[in-house]
Structure 1
Amino acid sequence: TNMERTSSIRRKAMARQHKGEVMIAGEQLRLRLHDGKLIKDRRYHLRTYPNCFVAQELIDWLVSHKEAPDRATAACLMQHLMDHDIIHHVCDKRPVFKDAKLLYRFRKDDGTFPFSTEVKIFMRGQRLYEQLIADKNSILQLREEHGVAYQRSFPGCQLIDWLLQNAEAESRRRGLELCRTLQEHGIIQHVAKKHDFFDSGLLYQFCINFRRRRRLSALLNESEQEEDEGVAVSTPEDTHPESPFVLRKSRPQEGNSAFQSVESSKDLKQVTSGRRGSLNSLQLHSAGFPPLAQSSTSVARCNPKSVLRRTVTCEELLAPGAPFLKKVLTVIGDALGWGFVVRGVAPCYVQAVDPGSPAAVAGVKVRQFVCQVNGQCVLYLDYRTVSRLVMTGTRTVVLEVMEPLE
C-alpha cells in the first residue's frame, strides 16, 4: 500500500541520514585527533604505519574529553564507526574494536574510504550546503509557508536557478533530477514533509545541518538521533570554536587569501600574517572566493611556464599498461590552505607545491595528473572547476592522481 511504501521510504531516508551523521561525526573526530596529535606515524614490529592511533590512547582521550562516560561506551562508539567503514584496524584483520595497544586508522587517512554512490551523493549535498551558506546573497533564508516560518529555507525553483548559475547542473531537468536524488537520500526535504521536490515556489530545507558539532554519544542513541535529524535550523553549536566546519573571516592584509578554519585567536594571527605566495589559487579568499582571473595571473607571474615535459591526453592516462602510477592522497588543509596549484584542461596537473604545506606532507608532487577529487571524476574538467571543487569542499581533500613513471 501507499502508506507502507511511504514508511519504507522514510525508514530508508532515516538510515541514510544516520549514515550521514556518522560520517560527519567521524570526520569531525578525525580532524580533532589530527589537531591533538593523537594520529601520527607509528612503528610496530620494525614497520612504520602512517597516520595511526592507538586504541587505548583514543579511549583515554574520549573519556577525558567527556565524549563517552566510560571506556566500554567509548569502545562501542568506535565499533559503530568501524561498522560504518570510518575506521579500521591497520591490517584489516580485526572486525572488533578492542580497548588495547592495537593500531587503527581512519579510512580517509589511507585512501580506503569506500566512495559508494550513496556517499558521493551525501558529499555532494554537503558541498552544496557549504557553498549556499557561504554565498553572500544566500537563497537560504527565513521564509513563510502557510503561516509558518522556516529558517534557512528556499523555494525549489530558486535552488534550480542557483544550480544552473553555478554550473552544478546543465539544464533545469538535470537540476530537478539532482534535487530529487538529494531528497531521496534524506539531505533535503519539503518544510512540512508533504511534497516531493518540484521546480516551483514550494519551500524546502536541508534536513542535515552539516556544520553542527556532533556529539559522538548521540550516535548510539537512536531516539536522540531521530529528534536531531528533522532540525535544519541554525543552533549555537554551529559556531562552536572546535567545529572543523567553521569558516572564520578576518580582514585581508596585503591581499592575503587563506582558507581559515581556525580554533583560536592565536591561530587567527598566524593566518593573517601567513604567506603562500603563488599558491593562493587553492586558498579561500577572506571575502569569498578569489576572482579566478586574478588568482591565475598571480600564478602565471610566479610559474609562467608549464612544468609538464610533454602534453598528455586523458586517453593516454586511461590506457591499460600506461606508464603512470595511480595514487590516492589525503590532504588535510591547514590555516593557510592546502598548498598546491593545479593548471591545465582535461587533464589538470599539479603545477606547484609549497614545500612545507599539507599537500607536500600528503605526497602531492608537480606533474601529477588529477583524476578524482573526493571520489568525483575530474579528468575532463579545467583547472578552475577543479580548484573550485577543492575550495568548496571540507578541509580534507582526497585526491586520486596519476604520476608519470619516467
Structure 2
Amino acid sequence: MERTSSIRRKAVARQHKAEVMIAGEQLRLKLHDGKLIKDRRYHLRTYPNCFVAQELIDWLMSHKEAADRVTAVRLVQHLLDHDIVHHVCDKRSVFKDAKLLFRFRKDDGTFPFNTEVKIFMRGQRLFEQLIADKDSILQLREEHGVAYHRSFPGCQFIDWLLQNGEAESRRQGLDLCRALQEHGIIQHVAKKHEFFDSGLLYQFCINFRRRRRLSELLSESEHDKDEGKVLQTQEDQNLDSPFVVRRNSQRQNAAFQSVRVKKDLKQAISGRRGSLNSAQLHPEEFPPSSNQQSSVAVPRFNPKSVLKRNVTCEELLAPGAPFIKKVLTVIGDALGWGFVVRGAAPCYMQAVDPGSPAAAAGIKVQQFVCQVNGQCVLHLDYRTVSRLVMTGPRTVVLEVLEPIE
C-alpha cells in the first residue's frame, strides 16, 4: 500500500508534465497553421522555425488564451520551464514580452527524448491505437458495484500488447504496464492497486485527444503545488478555444469517469483465458470477484493482417512487379498522422484512420513502406519505422508501393 501511494505521488508530477507537453504540442501545431512560426533573419543570420516573443503574446491575447500580457508571459514561461520552448541561442532562461526569437524544441530537434518522454509517447501511441480499434478492449466495465467507462482488465491489456507486437512476453508486457502506471498514464480504476496481470480494471489517466487551454493548465499547476494533486478534467464540450482544460466539481475526467451500475448495464468482463490458470489470472492478494468468474464472451481485439499473403522485399523490387510507386506527404495534426504500420522487411499499412491526415494524403491499407523522409526502410521492422515517424518532423514524406488491383 505504501508503494502504491509513492507511485501515485510521483504520477501526480509526471501527469502534470504530460499535460504541459500535450498543451505545448497543440499550441505549436496551431502556431504553424497560423504562420506565426517561420524562418526569421536577425543580424545577417537566418533562424528556422522561430516565433517572436512579442507576436506570440499578441496571439495569445487575441485568441483569449490569456486575460492580459502579464498572464500570457507566465504561460509561455511555464512552457520554457518544462523544456517545451527555448531561446534560439539558449542564452535566456526568462521569457520576456519583447522582440526576441524563441523556438519550440520539437522544431529544432533539441527536445529531450529521455526515458520519461519515451514512455509518455508510447502511452499516447497505445491510447490512439486502442481508441481507433473498432473492437477495442476499452469498454464500460464493472468492479465492486461501480461501472467505469473505457476500462480494461489488466490481463486483456497484456494479451493485446502481445498480439499487436508491443511486447514479446507477458513479463515484458507487465513491466511496460507498470512503467505506464508509474508515469501517470494508466491507473487502477479505484487507485488502490499496482498493475497486475489479472482481472482487475484499469484506465488511462490521460485523454490525449482532449484539447487544452494553457491559462487553465497554468492555474492548475499552481493549485497542485499547494495541494499536491493532479488535474482530473472533463471533455471539451463546444468550447471556443483549441486548448481547453476544465475542472469539474468531482475532479473527474468525463471521458473516464465512473457511473453507478444500473440493472440494464451490459458488462464486458472477460472470462478466464485458456493459456493461464486461475492463480495466474488472480493473484492471492486479489481474488476473482463473482462477476469476473461468469462466462462472458471475450471481445475480439486482435485484427489479423490486412495482407492476403506474405510479400518479400525481393518480390517488391522485382522488374514488372504488380505494384505502383507513390510518394505521399502526410502533415500530422494534434492527434498524430493516423496510420498504423505492421510487419518486418517489408512493413505495410495495417490501418488508416478515415478522418486523419494520412487518409487525406492518400495512404491506404496494404501499401508497403519503402522510404520515410528519404531514408530507405524496406528492410526495417515496424518498430523502427514507427520510431522514425514519431521522432521526426511533423511533415512526413513516405514512398510506398501500392498493389495493383
* TM-based fold match above 0.5: yes
Identity of aligned residues (%): 72
Q: Is 1:175 aligned to 2:197, yes or no?
A: no
* Equivalent position SS for 2:323: helix
Match 1:35 to one of 33, 36, 47: 33
Q: Is 1:333 aligned to 2:355, yes or no?
A: no
Q: State the match for 2:287 in structure 1.
A: none
Structure 1 distance, partners of 2:304, 2:86, is: 36
Structure 2 distance, partners of 1:103, 1:289, is: 49
Q: Which amino acid aligns with 1:123?
A: M
1:347-377 Cα deviation digits (max 9, x unpaired):
99xxxxxxxx9xxxxxx753x356xxxxxxx
Structure 2 distance, partners of 1:239, 1:133, is: 22
CA distance 1:6–1:171, change in 2 (3 Å): closer
1:64 shift after superposition:
1.1
Note if contact 1:153-1:203 (Cα within 8 Å) is conserved in structure 2. Answer: yes
Q: State the match for 2:205 in structure 1.
A: 207
1:153 shift after superposition:
0.5
Structure 2 distance, partners of 1:150, 1:119, is: 28
Structure 2 distance, partners of 1:31, 1:25, is: 10
1:7 shift after superposition:
4.4
CA distance 1:238–1:64, change in 2 (3 Å): closer
Structure 2 distance, partners of 1:290, 1:175, is: 21
Q: State the match for 1:267 in structure 2.
A: none
Match 1:301 to one of 288, 310, 323: 323
1:219 shift after superposition:
2.4
Q: State the match for 1:115 in structure 2.
A: 113
Structure 1 distance, partners of 2:171, 2:392, is: 31
Structure 1 unaligned blocks of 5 or more: 245-287, 305-330, 349-356, 358-363, 371-378, 400-406
* Equivalent position SS for 1:104: strand
The aligned runs of 1:115-264 (5 Å cut-off) are 115-221=113-219, 222=221, 229-230=231-232, 235-237=235-237, 242=242
The aligned runs of 1:55-70 (5 Å cut-off) are 55-70=53-68
Structure 2 unaligned blocks of 5 or more: 245-302, 348-360, 362-371, 397-405
Structure 2 distance, partners of 1:150, 1:86, is: 34
Q: Which amino acid aligns with 1:71?
A: R
Note if contact 1:213-1:237 (Cα within 8 Å) is conserved in structure 2. Answer: no
Q: Is 1:105 aligned to 2:103, yes or no?
A: yes
Q: Which amino acid aligns with 1:235?
A: E
* Equivalent position SS for 1:182: helix
Q: Is 1:78 aligned to 2:76, yes or no?
A: yes
1:9 shift after superposition:
3.1
Note if contact 2:75-2:215 (Cα within 8 Å) is conserved in structure 1. Answer: yes
* Equivalent position SS for 2:127: helix
Q: Which amino acid aligns with 1:135?
A: D
* Equivalent position SS for 1:42: strand
Structure 1-normalised TM-score? 0.64
CA distance 1:63–1:31, change in 2 (3 Å): same
Larger radius of gyration: 2
Structure 2 distance, partners of 1:168, 1:227, is: 31
Note if contact 2:14-2:184 (Cα within 8 Å) is conserved in structure 1. Answer: yes
User: Pairwise CA RMSD of aligned residues?
Assistant: 4.2
CA distance 1:84–1:332, change in 2 (3 Å): farther
The aligned runs of 1:17-32 (5 Å cut-off) are 17-32=15-30
1:99 shift after superposition:
0.7
1:90-147 Cα deviation digits (max 9, x unpaired):
1111111111001100000000000010000011101100100001101111111111
Structure 1 distance, partners of 2:180, 2:333, is: 30
Q: State the match for 1:10 in structure 2.
A: 8
Name whichever structure is richer in helix by fraction. Answer: 1
1:224 shift after superposition:
5.9
1:228 shift after superposition:
6.3
Structure 2 distance, partners of 1:161, 1:230, is: 28
1:164-222 Cα deviation digits (max 9, x unpaired):
11000001111111001111111100000111101111100001111111110122223
Match 1:90 to one of 83, 88, 91: 88
1:229 shift after superposition:
3.5
CA distance 1:113–1:202, change in 2 (3 Å): same
1:272-313 Cα deviation digits (max 9, x unpaired):
xxxxxxxxxxxxxxxx99946799879972349xxxxxxxxx
CA distance 1:236–1:96, change in 2 (3 Å): closer
Structure 2 distance, partners of 1:145, 1:190, is: 11
* Equivalent position SS for 1:302: strand
CA distance 1:80–1:162, change in 2 (3 Å): same
Structure 2 distance, partners of 1:111, 1:59, is: 24
1:387 shift after superposition:
4.9
* Equivalent position SS for 1:133: helix
